[in-house]
Amino acid sequence: MIFSLFQLLRDRIEPGLARSRFLWNMAPGALMLLPDFSQDLTSYPFYWRQLGTEMGNRFTAVIYATSSSVMLNSPLYKLVKNLGKSKYLEKVHQGF
């Protein structure tokens, strides 16, 4: 809750970086979206209904990890490996 308050304050102090009210009030919410990734709602898969667009046949995986070390038995490695098996995967974006 405190983190949300700080983010709301940041959006008020820096209006150029602020996320829209639409993002704050629709699931999954503004805290789940990285403004560094995109400010365009069409870049995110969860808003296609609200935007009145069609869902495509392919998807982009966005992975945000807190550690850059990837071991062969780590959950992150398994996730990327399983994503790579999908015929519907367009691309993978990762951030650390």
pLDDT digits (tens, 9 = 90+) for 43-75: 777 777 788 887 778 888 888 888 767 777 888
For residues 51 and 96, the model is more confident at: 51
Nearest CA to 67 out of 46, 41, 28, 94 is that of 94
pLDDT at 31: 65
Name residue 9's amino acid: L
How does pLDDT run across 5-42, given as a tens digit for each residue? 777 777 778 777 677 777 777 777 766 776 667 777 77
Contact yes or no for 30/23 (Cβ under 8 A)? yes
